[in-house]
């Protein structure tokens, strides 16, 4: 009998609803073909690099029913880039090392024919770099931020918008009861997709996104007008990367070894300070949704998208189409070369139909 072909699956970067549905999709599709085995590497590439490796065989029993569960059964990490791995020295300092050759050796040693890397923008840049270094790899785009440009949607995004919209609805009733301005902060990094969709779905008065810097004076005028009309209230959605015209993103330096990004979060509090400094007299409260947007069960749409992404990812491997990323384009699941997928960041375009539509509904962007 011919040797089995082995696929290594991993989830890297921030988690999001739908990761388990992709894992299940890959394993189920592989089972329909003869001669394939699928393994998961625990904590992204870290699992295969360990001695002994931390791998889990994705058997039918192991993947049964996991598509409805949030998180990832394979665990994840933001500190597992094999091209720039943070090695801690005895004196506590950190040296970045390129561990690609070790990874290649490990893949060979354990007879893996291909890798499926489920991850966001950063992870797919890693996929492309590893592909260029000779690894048979396929990418699957995930992120609640929806900031990958070669796919109309990433799975996880719609679930995050649902969490944010449900929270927004709750904040409306308390803002109304208390005659308050309620600022709700959502994730999204440098892209305002979650904020924009939530503002339309929830019916926000104001939506602040990184792509449209705001004028604080205009915001105060808008808030005061509505707030002082009877016992008025105002609901604002702000994306974590939003800032005033000429201002900066609100971010902290990372305090974890090997974490390569600035940490966002807390811009809602800065907005309150800015509004106060600009003369806003209304009562204001803030709600920072944070990681609740990444947790819990994927909504039906994300379960479907993620499952189909899993099926497609296996088919790309089966057909030897490496260096590709699964993508959702024009209501179809297809694929694009990884090198094109990571070229451009998916910003909200200020002149897009979504922004125009939101403005048509009377939502202010403070511009
Ligand atoms: O990329 C997804 C995201 O959720 C961003 O919106 C957020 O800034 C970041 O991850 C936070 O990641 P973590 O706290 O896991 O490092």
pLDDT tens digits along 78-111: 988 999 988 888 888 888 899 999 999 999 999 9
Task: Please compute the mean of the pLDDT values over residues 159-185 and round it to a whole number.
Answer: 98
Residue pLDDT, tens place only, 209-258: 999 999 999 999 999 999 999 999 999 999 999 999 999 999 999 888 87
Residues 94 and 177 in one domain: no
Residues 150 and 162 in one domain: no
The CA 248 to ligand 1 mean position distance, Å, reads: 18
Does 252 sit behind a cis peptide bond, omega within 30 degrees of 0 on the bond before it?
Answer: no
pLDDT given for residue 349 in this prediction: 98
pLDDT at 1 over 50: no
Q: How confident is the model at residue 3 (pLDDT cuts 50, 70, 90)?
A: confident
Q: Ligand 1 within 6 A of 142 CB? A: no
Question: For the chain, what is the mean pLDDT?
Answer: 96
pLDDT given for residue 2 in this prediction: 52
Query: Can you give the pTM of this predicted structure?
Result: 0.96
Residue pLDDT, tens place only, 288-299: 999 999 999 999
Q: Ligand 1 within 6 A of 144 CB? A: yes
More confident residue, 160 or 254: 160
User: Which of 307, 297, 301 has its CA nearest to residue 25?
Assistant: 307
Residue 57 is assigned to a structural domain of this protein: yes
CATH label of the domain that carries residue 266: 3.40.50.460
Pocket test for ligand 1, best of 14, 160, 259, 293 (most atoms within 8 A of CB): 14
Residue pLDDT, tens place only, 352-362: 999 999 999 99
Q: Ligand 1 within 6 A of 30 CB? A: no
Residues 6+ apart with CB under 8 A from 230: none
pLDDT given for residue 193 in this prediction: 98
Residue 366 is assigned to a structural domain of this protein: no
Q: What domain range includes position 69?
A: 5-155+298-341
Residues 38 and 74 in one domain: yes
Residue 69 is assigned to a structural domain of this protein: yes
Residues 150 and 15 in one domain: yes
Dihedral through CA 223, CA 226, CA 230, CA 234, nearest 10?
-60
CA distance 100 to 106: 10
Residue 241 is assigned to a structural domain of this protein: yes
Residues 203 and 336 in one domain: no
CATH label of the domain that carries residue 305: 3.40.50.450
CA distance 282 to 92: 48
Element holding 87 (H helix, E strand) = strand 85-88
Q: How confident is the model at residue 188 (pLDDT cuts 50, 70, 90)?
A: very high
Q: What is the number of structural domains in the chain?
A: 2
User: Which of 249, 236, 238 has its CA nearest to residue 282?
Assistant: 236
Task: Please compute the mean of the pLDDT values over residues 58-81 and round it to a whole number.
Answer: 96
CA distance readout (Å), 136 to 23, 106, 330: 18, 14, 27
The residues that are catalytic are 145
Residues 248 and 325 in one domain: no
């Amino acid at each position: 009998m011919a040797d089995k072909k082995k696929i290594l699956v991993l989830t890297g970067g921030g988690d999001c609803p739908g990761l388990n549905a992709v894992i299940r999709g890959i394993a189920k599709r592989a089972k329909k073909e003869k001669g394939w085995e699928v393994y998961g590497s625990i904590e992204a590439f870290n699992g295969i690099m360990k001695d002994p490796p931390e791998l889990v065989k994705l058997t039918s029993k192991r993947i049964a029913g996991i598509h409805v569960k949030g998180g990832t059964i394979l665990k994840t990490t933001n500190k597992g880039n094999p091209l720039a791995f943070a090695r801690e020295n005895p004196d506590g300092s950190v040296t970045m090392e390129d561990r690609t050759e070790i990874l290649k050796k490990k893949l060979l040693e354990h007879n893996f024919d291909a890798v499926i890397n489920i991850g966001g923008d950063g992870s797919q840049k890693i996929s492309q770099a590893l592909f260029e270094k000779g690894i048979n790899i396929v990418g699957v785009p995930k992120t609640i931020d929806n900031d990958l440009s070669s796919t109309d949607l990433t799975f996880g995004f719609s679930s995050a918008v649902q969490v944010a919209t449900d929270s927004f609805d709750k904040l409306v009733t308390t803002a109304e009861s208390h005659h308050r301005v309620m600022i709700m902060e959502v994730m999204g990094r440098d892209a305002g997709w979650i904020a924009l969709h939530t503002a339309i779905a929830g019916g926000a008065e104001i939506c602040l996104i990184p792509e449209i810097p705001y004028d604080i004076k205009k915001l105060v005028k808008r808030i005061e007008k509505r707030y002082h009309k009877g016992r008025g209230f105002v609901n604002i959605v702000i994306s974590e990367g939003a800032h005033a015209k000429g201002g900066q993103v609100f971010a902290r330096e990372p305090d974890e070894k090997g974490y390569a990004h600035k940490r966002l979060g807390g811009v809602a509090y800065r907005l309150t300070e800015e509004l106060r400094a600009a003369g806003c007299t209304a009562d204001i409260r803030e709600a920072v949704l944070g990681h609740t947007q990444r947790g819990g069960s994927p909504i039906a749409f994300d379960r479907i998208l993620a499952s189909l992404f899993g099926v497609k990812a296996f088919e790309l491997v089966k057909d030897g189409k490496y260096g590709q990323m699964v993508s959702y384009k024009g209501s179809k699941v297809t694929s694009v070369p990884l090198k094109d997928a990571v070229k451009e960041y998916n910003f909200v375009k200020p002149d897009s139909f979504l922004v125009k539509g939101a403005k048509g509904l009377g939502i202010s962007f403070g511009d």
